[in-house]
Every structure is written in structure tokens, then in C-alpha cells.
Amino acid sequence: MNFFILFFRFLHPITYGEYPMTMQSLVGHRLPKFSPAESEMLKGSLDFLGINYYTSNYATTYASAVNTLELSWALDGRLNLTTEKDGVNIGQPAMSLSLDIQGYTPLNWLYICPWGIKKHMLYIKEHYNNPTIYITENGLATANNGSVPVKEDLNDTLRITYHRGHLYYLSKAIKEGVNVKGYFAWSFLDDFEWDAGFTFRFGLGYVDYKNGLKRYPKHSTYWFKKFL
């Protein structure tokens, strides 16, 4: 979820009781209106902020005019999102490390960018009254292609690197005053992903779908046990 949707569409109203002027200007009459009473009820109404963070993107504004016949919530931000700047990726692409049998992977959106989580946290602190924050999802997936031996899948050193990096930058954000109170790794076990079924393996625990759903701890499980 990009900044425009998360912060302008949701966090801004429940912090300040209204949509930001930038969003009002871009969305116009399609944006719902709050009554004065509704605005007061919304203002400061959040108990905590839960954020699912996996990766980051660079953003630039549209270079050309927007087609008013194709307006949608996904285009309202007038943003071009990219994972590359000056020919350099924003982070290591997870997709190159988890190809499936056909050489295709559904992970082409996931770049390993732990420093991005700190930037998100500091932005929230500076612009939204430093609310209580829980990282409700953070994790790395590999492709479940059926051709990798179980023992090899258990040796998930990249997942350890991913979580270590994000926890490091979260720690730095906390030291700079961000009110982060919790961190949830996604996920405890390999699971069914809503948009990809069983083709991803996000879990710290391995689920053997071909052998009675037996579970095995991956190396990342032991790393978290030691870390905690």
C-alpha cells in the first residue's frame, strides 16, 4: 500500500479529522465529505497504527496529463512507482532468488529494502503525532515450486538476513523516538496467501504439503528464538 493511500486516505482523517488539501485537490468531488461532527469524532480516534511493511519504492509524479476517463483510487496519487534509481535497484530483488520451474516468480514486487522501514516510521512520527505503532506484517517469501528438497528450504539464510535488517532499522527508529511497540513476522508457518495460494512460502516454519502437512522449523525459527 503506497503512502498516498495509507497516509492521505486513512491516517490523515483519523489524526486530523479531514483529508489533506493535496488529496482534496487531486480527487475532487469523488472524495467523501465529513460533517463537522464526523470530523470531531475522527480526530485522534486511533488506538494504534498497524502497518504491514515488506518493501519500498521510489516515486515520481506523472510526467503527462491524467486521463480523466480512467480515474480510480489506484491512480489518484498521480504517482509513478519504480524500484530503480539511476540504474540501481532499491534493494536486492527477492525474485531472482526464488524462481519456479518455468523461470517465473510471483515475487517481482519484493525488493529487500530494510532502510525503508525506518523512513516510514520517521515520517509517521513527524507528521502524525507519533502514534503507537505495531508492525503487523513483515516477511520474505520464497517460491514453493515443488522441486527444492525440504532440507534446502529449511536453510533460509536470506529470510534471517531480511528480518535482521528490518529489526536493525526499527531499532534505530525507536532510538530516534518513534513509538514502535511490536513486530510480527509474516508468517509463523507457510500459509495460504490470498492472491497466490500456496505458491509462496513466507513461514518461519516449513509445511510439507505433500506429506500430511508435517511442520519443520526453518533456520529462521532458531534465529528468532536466539534473538528473543
| Longest distance between any two alpha carbons in the chain, whole Å | 61
Nearest to 38 by CA among 57, 14, 55: 14
State how far the Cα of 138 lies from the Cα of 109, in Å rounded to an integer: 14
Cβ partners under 8 Å of residue 173, min gap 6: 117, 118, 121, 122, 125, 180
User: Which residue among 126, 137, 152, 176 is the active-site one?
Assistant: 137
Active site residue 137: yes
Nearest to 111 by CA among 96, 99, 121: 96
Contact (CB, 8 A) for 182 and 197: no
Q: State the CB neighbour count (10 A cutoff) for residue 133.
A: 24
Catalytically annotated residues: 137
